[in-house]
């Protein structure tokens, strides 16, 4: 019984010291920020790609229309 009390006391002490330790917090924060930036970047890149594709399609149609208008 005494052995179990020592173990739980040690675990409680270690958990308190881990709770007070903030050295790893900046790494976690940077990882979270990186994840948000990556998701934002993918969203913007996808939207940008769709807009470019729409413009290319519209310009291709306009060019094809001009070629048909100048043909004899």
Residue 21 DSSP symbol: -
CA distance 35 to 56: 31
Percent above pLDDT 90 for the chain: 17
CA distance 12 to 4: 12
pLDDT of 69 above 70: no
pLDDT of residue 64: 85
Q: Which two tokens stand for residue 37?
A: 């930036």
Contacts 24+ apart (CB under 8 A), 58-66: none
pLDDT of residue 35: 94
Mean pLDDT of 22-34: 81
pLDDT of residue 34: 93
pLDDT of residue 3: 75
Q: Where are the domains of the chain?
A: 23-72
1 CA to centre of own chain: 50
């Amino acid at each position: 019984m005494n052995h179990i009390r020592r173990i739980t006391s040690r675990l409680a002490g270690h958990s308190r010291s881990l709770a007070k330790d903030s050295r790893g917090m900046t790494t976690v924060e940077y990882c979270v920020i990186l994840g948000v930036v990556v998701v934002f970047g993918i969203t913007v890149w996808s939207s940008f790609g769709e807009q470019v594709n729409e413009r290319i399609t519209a310009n291709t149609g306009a060019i094809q229309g001009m070629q048909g208008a100048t043909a004899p």
